[in-house]
Amino acid sequence: MGIQRSSSASVTQVSHGGLPANHGAPAGARHRPLPPGAHSFDDANAQSPGAGALPDYVRDFCQGSLPEAAMRRIGFPWSQVLVERTLAEVAGTMLTAELALKHGIACNTAGGTHHAFRDFGSGFCIINDLAVTAAHLLDRRAVRRVLIVDLDVHQGDGTAAIFRLDPRVFTLSVHCEDNFPHRKQLSDLDVPLPRGVRDEEYLQVVKQALQSVLDSFQPDLVLYDAGVDTHELDALGFLELTDFGIYEREKQVFRMCMQRGVPVAGYVGGGYSADLDEVAWRHCALHEAAAITLHDCLT
């Protein structure tokens, strides 16, 4: 795992390992490997009552003893590399949140595994890094309220289910209604969109929803799942955002949080294409928008 500073405006960025070439996920589902670092997550982190993943489930996954049906639901074949990459991803999400609390904005080159529930994985998500991170910070009393903003094209069903009865966490999901998961969970605020929504309408919907929640819930931290599967050319999404629309979305989220003095940690979320460079370019909007927003706030 590595920590880097963006040269343009000193945005802290976290990056870490990836999957082997034969992992079986859709193209663009995960990222290229980097050496692991000292920040770690394992089943010991799942012991607290508010944990986002149950310790028995984490242990069984790490030991390779999950049933075959459970691995099929996840969508990856089990391997030790997958275990190491998964634990590094969760650790990276935790570290990114801690850095956001310190610096105001921080971004991860992975993260946003929002389909994982406490005791099972789904949709290429094994451990819900957003839930684990929120629970960890709340249990440490580093924060009192966490807002999870999920703008991936797919509803954050695992996150919604995990925090359904926890008033310390507000889950906001703006997603395409006619898409995976077909059985939706109940977020604190769900904004389902029809297929084909374009930039202008989408940005207005996000602005209204986020403004309302920021002002009413008044979070101490925002965890932002910035999935780019909302793009018009994405293989698994049915919305019609352009490159410009995604970039404007990222700036809008960062700006609205920073204007209220709320630290925000950004995670890349989903994005699917046969061309990995295209997906990587779309994800870059998150980091560029963070740098621009931080620069504007400091000048």
Instruction: Single out the residue of 223, 192, 204, 210 nearest to residue 52, CA to CA.
Output: 223
14 DSSP β-pair partners: 3, 108
SS3 248: helix
CA dist 159 and 83 (Å) reads 21
Break the chain down into helix, strand, coil percent, rounded to 5.
40, 15, 45
Provide CB contacts within 8 A for 197, sequence distance 6+: 176, 205, 239, 240
CA dist 147 and 160 (Å) reads 12
- Among 16, 31, 114, 115, the active-site one is 115
Backbone angles phi, psi at 210, to 5 degrees: -70, -40
Do 100 and 221 touch, CB atoms closer than 8 A?
A: yes
CA dist 174 and 208 (Å) reads 11
Instruction: Single out the residue of 92, 116, 75, 78 nearest to residue 38, CA to CA.
Output: 92
Report which secondary-structure segment, H or E, holds 2. Answer: strand 2-5
The amino acid present at 90, given as its one-letter code, is V
The amino acid present at 217, given as its one-letter code, is F
- Polymer length in residues for the chain: 299
SS3 126: coil
Tokens of 109: 């080159």
115 is catalytic: yes
Distance of CA 84 to the CA centre of its chain: 18
Catalytic residue numbers read 115
